[in-house]
Amino acid sequence: MSERSQTVPTPEGEYLEGNRFAGLSFLLGLIAFVALVLCLVGAIVNPHQFSYSWLFAFAFFFTLCVGCFFWTIVHHATDAEWSVAVRRQLENLAALLAVLALLFVPILLLRHHLYSWMDIPPGAEASLDSKRAYLNWNFFLGRAVLFFAFFIFASLSLRRLSVRQDKDGNPRFTIWMRKVAFISLPMFALCLTFGAFDWLMSLNYRWFSTMFGVYIFAGAAGSSMSLLVLVITALRQAGYLKDVVTLEHYHIMGKWMLAFCVFWAYIGFGQYMLIWYANMPEETQYFITRNTES
């Protein structure tokens, strides 16, 4: 156990008062209800367009939450000190992966509007037949269940252990969280990579890129750190974390944002350069589609 570990009492006034945000909770609930009604109308009127819109929104929020989960396990695995003051917000956002699992259900129900390979019979296309062992409904569903089971179990376990540690200050919880983080790191890489392959890259089963998973990861890590800055800033404006989060924390978070912005651009350019240089039709279609007016 690190000699640096120590228990520090929570500063006065840092415990969240739920009644302060009762009005905001009601407003957000009302917005969610109206949005749900509009989604139902959209699904009935134009299910094809709605399915793509829902997938886009799902992917956006999924990358934010899974990015927060990434930062949580990295900070536990490396025994980072600076993140202790902001880690609870990362844990809270990562715990929303359980909600996203429910929001994934419409994608399963509307799968035939999204993934054309599900409707193509065996033997109809040679390029798809070579991928049938991977691109089939049963395996697709099984992988989705596995991915969400891991993300939900790991994120909720880390948050539960973190809360228990705050209550009694027992250092054994730090060791447990570090062990969970070490196990979660390789699982995170696999689940995020193949999740990106399944839910996004297989929209066009003819196109593939081994860099696609890394591209999604880079965006998730950078955008989630940006979200953390926004959440911390909002809490400070509400009167919380003023004696906990300092300018140094903002400096560190800003450096991570810059680092992953550069990394994301590097991966994006690297993928583009290789596809442009090879000039193969099954690969160039990815960028041709994105440079054509819809």
3-class DSSP state for residue 124? coil
Encode pLDDT of 16-50 as tens digits.
666 666 777 788 889 989 999 999 999 999 999 99
Encode pLDDT of 122-132 as tens digits.
888 888 888 99
Encode pLDDT of 229-269 as tens digits.
999 999 998 888 888 899 999 999 999 999 999 999 999 99
Q: Are 94 and 159 in contact (CB under 8 A)?
A: yes
7-16 LR contacts (CB < 8 Å, sep 24+): 7/169, 10/166, 11/243, 11/244, 13/239, 13/240, 14/240, 14/241, 14/243, 14/244, 16/240
Q: What percent of the chain has pLDDT over 70?
A: 92
pLDDT value, residue 16: 63
Question: Torsions phi, psi of 6, nearest 5?
Answer: -155, 155
The pLDDT of residue 194 is above 60: yes
Encode pLDDT of 202-233 as tens digits.
999 988 888 999 999 999 999 999 999 999 99
